Amino acid sequence: MSITDTTAIPTIGHWIDGAPRASHSGRTAPVFNPATGVQQARVALADQSEIDEAIASAQRGFETWSTYSVAKRQAVLFSFRELLNARNGELAEIITREHGKVLSDAMGEIARGQEVVELATGFAHFTKGAFNENVSTGIDVYSLKQPLGVVGVISPFNFPAMVPMWFFPVAIAAGNAVVLKPSEKDPSAALWMAELWKEAGLPDGVFTVLQGDKLAVDGLLTDPAVQSISFVGSTPIAKYIYETASQHGKRVQALGGAKNHMLVLPDADLDIVADQAINAGYGAAGERCMAISVVLAVEPVADELIEKITERISALRIGDGASHPEPQMGPLITAEHRAKVSGYVDIAEADGAKIVVDGRGFTAPGCEGGFFFGPTLIDEVPTTSRAYTEEIFGPVLEIVRVKSYDEGAALINSGQFGNGTAIFTNDGGAARRFQNEIQVGMIGINVPIPVPVAYHSFGGWKQSLFGDSKAYGVQGFEFFTREKAITSRWLDPATHGGIDLGFPQND
């Protein structure tokens, strides 16, 4: 990696009270262009006073925003939607520059986030209460759904726009104020979206960007003014987020890691399977919690499938995501993460797996300093190997040979994660068994990355989700509101029955 003269490197700050805010903490972290390995900025790491200031600003923003009418809130949301539609190319360029994914993939990320923005514009439907008239003589009972207050969103590096948009459109639509703590590895997308909210007419303080590290995270987890935490990241961090925030009385939706499988039955079209394995395994350089990382090949298809995948790997274009013509795969996020991915390939090899295509040591032409790792294909991975049981989060596709559907299903269900999985078959009966028997939160049938559309909710089972609520959809609105029940009676002096100390009865 290369670090240029730091005197010429800009510092990325916070967004507080509806405006950029420079940091005075004196602490920063480097921000690299992953395709070149050159440091292009540094991001501020908040101190406690800045954390307190951000949360206090959000509280003031909530007190204003929560009084806005439904019509006024919808107008702001629709304005944000239109601005995002018109200028999404700007955001895609920021994502590519700081994350490394190719521009078309960055545009796809924004499109999936935009689905949630569009869902949120219809928030009035999801935040309606209920009414029962005359439950007892002259008494009505009805319920209201009201916002929580200040809510925290802690997002990962791999989707700097989409993952925050899983949460903040719903939270804001419901009347809350959001404090977003983006990843320090690619922090600029959050600031761009903050500026867009300002242009859309959102009151100051309703959308705050707090740059930082663990100190900022812990500040959100423990501050009594923060009512809920939404998180996406690795399972150990998700568990820490859930336990710490819960101990401090907060609602939590913490989405963790994954080890997603693709079960391939002998009747599947192997050309389609190979295409989808490439897309799902190597898209975004494998830095997706929904990436397929294990292909369970029901014999006798493994050899033919490996041959088809290998052919396709050799034709992949890999390079700087901003170059022309656009490559199909970019770099990993940091040199440290590349070393971690390489270490898992070393583990698989030491445990007896066969390295069919080796991405270790790969260099993209013209990007010799970038954090590239070549597409890797590994056969005969032992299911006892850490390379099989743990999340790699890189462009590594593992083949595990199984003798039957039942053996493959048992392997999937025995794993610690339960995020997403897929089956490829032309057998409707097998597909139906799969959707009913597999113990994960999201199932694909001939679809390798089964991320639900915005009006269904996203989330896994087991060690892939901590907390009861999934992201977006109906569950998202339930998470960001709380119900209040009102029992009402308007007394008529002519029929008032006087004092009765007994428990109410229905005569």
How confident is the model at residue 506, as a pLDDT? 61
pLDDT in tens, 453-504: 999 999 999 999 999 899 999 999 999 999 999 999 998 777 766 676 766 6
Q: How far is residue 319's CA from residue 372's CA, in Å, rounded to a whole number?
A: 8
Torsion angles phi and psi, residue 253, rounded to 5: -125, 110
Q: How far is residue 409's CA from residue 388's CA, in Å, rounded to a whole number?
A: 15
CB contact at 8 A, 421 and 437: no
Q: How far is residue 127's CA from residue 148's CA, in Å, rounded to a whole number?
A: 13
Q: How far is residue 271's CA from residue 308's CA, in Å, rounded to a whole number?
A: 7
How confident is the model at residue 4, as a pLDDT? 45
- Active-site residue identified among 217, 262, 289, 318: 289
Q: Give one DSSP letter per residue of 167-225, joined into a string.
A: HHHHHHHTT-EEEEE--TTS-HHHHHHHHHHHHHTPPTTSEEE---SHHHHHHHHH-TT
Picking from 239, 214, 260, the residue whose alpha carbon sits closest to that of residue 460 is 260
**What is the pLDDT of the chain when averaged over all its residues?**
96
How confident is the model at residue 2, as a pLDDT? 46
CB contact at 8 A, 58 and 21: no
Percent of the chain with pLDDT over 70: 96
Instruction: Tell me if residue 367 is catalytic.
Output: no
Let me know the angle formed at the C-alpha of 440 by 435 and 441, rounded to the nearest 5 degrees.
Answer: 90
- What integer is the mean pLDDT of 149-172? 98
Instruction: Confirm or reject CATH 3.40.605.10 for domain 6-256+464-485, answering yes or no.
Output: yes
How confident is the model at residue 497, as a pLDDT? 64
- What integer is the mean pLDDT of 406-421? 98
Instruction: Give this prediction's pTM.
Output: 0.95
Query: Can you say how many angstroms the Cα of residue 260 is from the centroid of all Cα atoms in its chain?
Result: 15
Residues in CB range of 281: below 8 A, 6 or more apart: 291, 292, 293, 375, 395, 396, 397
pLDDT in tens, 26-79: 999 999 999 999 999 999 999 999 999 999 999 999 999 999 999 999 999 999
Residue 3 has pLDDT above 50, yes or no: no
- The burial class, CB within 10 Å (0-12 / 13-18 / 19+), for 503 is exposed
pLDDT in tens, 324-334: 999 999 999 99
User: Using the 8-state DSSP alphabet, how is residue 6 labeled?
Assistant: G
CB contact at 8 A, 462 and 439: yes
CB contact at 8 A, 467 and 254: yes
Domain ranges of the chain: 6-256+464-485, 260-445
Beta partners for 154? Answer: 181, 231
How confident is the model at residue 491, as a pLDDT? 85
How confident is the model at residue 507, as a pLDDT? 57
How confident is the model at residue 7, as a pLDDT? 59
Torsion angles phi and psi, residue 310, rounded to 5: -60, -40
How confident is the model at residue 343, as a pLDDT? 98
Q: What is the 3-state secondary structure (H, E, C) of 264-322?
A: ECCCCCHHHHHHHHHHHHHHHHHCCCCCEEEEEEECCCHHHHHHHHHHHHHCCCECCCC
Picking from 443, 408, 427, the residue whose alpha carbon sits closest to that of residue 297 is 408
Torsion angles phi and psi, residue 186, rounded to 5: -145, 75
| Class in CATH terms, 260-445 | alpha beta
| DSSP H/E element including 409 | helix 405-414
CB contact at 8 A, 40 and 97: yes
Q: How far is residue 16's CA from residue 206's CA, in Å, rounded to a whole number?
A: 9
How confident is the model at residue 8, as a pLDDT? 83
CB contact at 8 A, 256 and 458: no
Residue 6 has pLDDT above 90, yes or no: no
Distances from the Cα of 117 to the Cαs of 174, 218, 274, 453, 472, in angstroms?
12, 28, 33, 12, 10
How confident is the model at residue 496, as a pLDDT? 67
Q: How far is residue 255's CA from residue 241's CA, in Å, rounded to a whole number?
A: 10
Residue with tokens 């009084």: 67
- What integer is the mean pLDDT of 133-154? 97
The answer for 132, left when phi > 0, alpha when psi is -120 to 50, beta otherwise, is beta
pLDDT band at 405 (very low <50, low <70, confident <90, very high): very high
Positive or negative CA dihedral for 69, 70, 71, 74? positive
pLDDT in tens, 264-297: 999 999 999 999 999 999 999 999 999 999 999 9
